[in-house]
Structure 1
Amino acid sequence: MALELSILYRGSLSSCNYGCEYCPFAKRTNTAAELAIDKAELDRFVNWVESREPDDKIGILFTPWGEALIHRYYQSAIARLSHLPQVTKVAIQTNLACDLDWVKDCNLDTLALWTTFHPTEVSLDRFLQQCQKLDLAQVKYSVGIVGLKEHQYQAQLLRQELDPNVYLWVNAYKRQPDYYHPDDLNLFTQIDPLFPINNQVYDTFGKPCHTGDRVITVDGEGTIRRCHFISDSIGNIYDPNFAASLFPRNCQNQVCRCHIGYVHLPGLNLDKVYGNGILERIPRYRINHS
């Protein structure tokens, strides 16, 4: 039986070229030895995907702790994965600071980017120039911004300047209770009509979730976990019989706060919103902005 699976891959990379104050990996630098380990892990993963049966259907989202695309070995790996018959989608979360010439080597039918604008780290003009390069190359991508109140003006400008067909999502800031006033909620919802879905903490204990069945996370050693928010291992992809560990499970966490977690809750029906763009956070229909 052909395998149909979405994989969120996170290797041992833990460094970033940006210094966002809310991020634990801001301005952290991996050593050459650490990067060599991460590259070996990534090569092994790509080889594993390539070894799968051609009629398997595997979607991949890279969710690195830090920025991966500034390293050429990630660019090469994504380009290679994009051409494999087993791969239905290969996407990555990125701050878009990298050179973009590598996208010409990719299969644009399967490549997609989940990009984020960080106003304290890059100018709006520079970020928009990168987006325009993606537009010219016809690369599918979404753009996001963290919904900090001090970044409202930048978020408005970003929405104004982006191609209207590009979805701009706003990640709600949930570390401070009652952070938003009604005017804040209205403004961010005008920018991102799906913001009210993100601006929630979902009660999930005992509720069905596709993670551990249709969706898994994989680390550099191949360890399988249901999602990034449940630490228990349920197997290893390098075990020939790993598929036996994939079956429907109910959530064991009390709550889910993050898009890459709750988007897989069948009770929310978000697969109907995102369709085959669920990994790169691109809705299946154009979002109408106020």
Structure 2
Amino acid sequence: MEHLTILYRGPLSSCDYDCPYCPFAKRRDTPEQLRADRAALERFTDWVSRQDHRVSVLFTPWGEGLVRSWYRRALTDLSHMPHVERVAIQTNLSHRVAWTSGADLARLALWATYHPGQVPYDRFLGRCLELAERGVRFSVGIVGLPEHLDAARRLRADLPAGTYLWVNAAEGHVYDDAEADLWTGIDPLFPVSRHPHRSRGLACRTGETVVSVDGDGTVRRCHFVPAVLGNLYDGSFRDALKPRPCPNDTCDCHIGYVHLVPLGLYDTFAGGVLERIPALFGSAVPEGRR
């Protein structure tokens, strides 16, 4: 094995926001659950530290990780490991970002989402501008609900030109062409998110060079396929790694479909697959809509 990309999701499910489109809004973990999440994350970080091959990690917690000190520490520690190519996390940026000064910014990246109504606009924008000033690599995104359009336009205007602003198609929302064009004016790659991708039978890197890992070390090919490949900590997953087609009818989440080979998104996001940063801004939307 030369390089393994891991999407890690531990038991953490608490979040400080109450977005109406999220099932984990304002959920609180018990002290016991938080201790278990911390122990699981520390075990995972230790495992990564002992590998003799290249590793990239994207943390995709159900809740907000950066409000917890152990996630900030894990990101910092992993960023200093020479065999770790990239370590990134999905976050709402509700926590201060000064901790990034202790990380190796050549490896650290943040995938930040703006949730209008959950945080004052100026506070979120201020965190983004501070990240840019600190030299942290990050993308910013928003859910493409009609009521978010003005906020998205304002954010695009106020963010540095070199910061990619992505738009996620809202689950269950149907976009006519005129509405889709409005969002594409903000994110040129919105057409990639607009419709679920037909994926059954398509070649996918998950299960071969990309895996999903939970807090117990259970390894699956991705978050959206329940079949177990083995366990991270006993090494049983390694023999199961191989090329395999997608078993699902569709894939509608970026952290899933970005790995579908026919879509060519590894070229679109070259160097920024985990943190959702395209190699070139303003380029044509890639071929391969399915």
Give the TM-score normalised by the residue count of structure 1: 0.96
Deviations 1:27-60 (A, max 9, x none): 001011100000000000000000111xx11110
1:19 aligns with 2:14: no
Deviations 1:119-178 (A, max 9, x none): 0101211111000110111000000000000110000000000001000000001313xx
Alignment of 1:137-176 (within 5 A): 137-176=134-173
Check conservation: 2:180, 2:194, Cα contact below 8 A.
no
Deviations 1:187-211 (A, max 9, x none): 1000000000111111111111100
Deviation of the 1:15 alpha carbon: 0.6
Check conservation: 1:115, 1:141, Cα contact below 8 A.
yes
Which SS does the other structure have where 2:14 is aligned? coil
1:281 aligns with 2:280: no
Check conservation: 1:49, 1:86, Cα contact below 8 A.
no
Inter-CA distance 241–228: structure 2 relative to 1 (3 Å threshold): closer
Check conservation: 1:212, 1:249, Cα contact below 8 A.
yes
Deviation of the 1:7 alpha carbon: 0.3
| 2:180 counterpart residue number | 185
Q: Which amino acid aligns with 1:175?
A: G
d(CA) in 2 for partners of 1:245, 1:105: 37
Check conservation: 1:119, 1:154, Cα contact below 8 A.
yes
d(CA) in 2 for partners of 1:93, 1:192: 19
Inter-CA distance 242–182: structure 2 relative to 1 (3 Å threshold): closer
Check conservation: 1:167, 1:287, Cα contact below 8 A.
no
Check conservation: 1:91, 1:111, Cα contact below 8 A.
yes
Deviation of the 1:288 alpha carbon: 6.2
Q: Which amino acid aligns with 1:105?
A: G
Alignment of 1:39-188 (within 5 A): 39-53=38-52, 56-176=53-173, 179-188=174-183
Check conservation: 1:19, 1:27, Cα contact below 8 A.
yes
Q: Which amino acid aligns with 1:272?
A: D
| 1:31 counterpart residue number | 30
Q: Which amino acid aligns with 1:37?
A: A
Superposition CA RMSD, Å: 1.2
Deviation of the 1:181 alpha carbon: 3.1
Alignment of 1:134-283 (within 5 A): 134-176=131-173, 179-283=174-278
d(CA) in 1 for partners of 2:31, 2:187: 40
* Gap runs ≥5 in structure 1: none
Equivalent residue pairs, number: 284
1:4 aligns with 2:16: no
Check conservation: 2:5, 2:211, Cα contact below 8 A.
yes
Deviation of the 1:263 alpha carbon: 0.6
Identity of aligned residues (%): 48
d(CA) in 2 for partners of 1:203, 1:181: 19
d(CA) in 2 for partners of 1:29, 1:128: 26
Deviation of the 1:241 alpha carbon: 4.5
d(CA) in 1 for partners of 2:182, 2:157: 13
Q: Which amino acid aligns with 1:64?
A: P
d(CA) in 2 for partners of 1:5, 1:253: 22
* Gap runs ≥5 in structure 2: 285-290
Q: Which amino acid aligns with 1:139?
A: V
Q: Which amino acid aligns with 1:30?
A: D
Query: Runs of at least 4 residues of structure 1 off by over 6 A?
Result: none
Which SS does the other structure have where 1:115 is aligned? strand
d(CA) in 1 for partners of 2:185, 2:106: 30
d(CA) in 1 for partners of 2:241, 2:260: 16
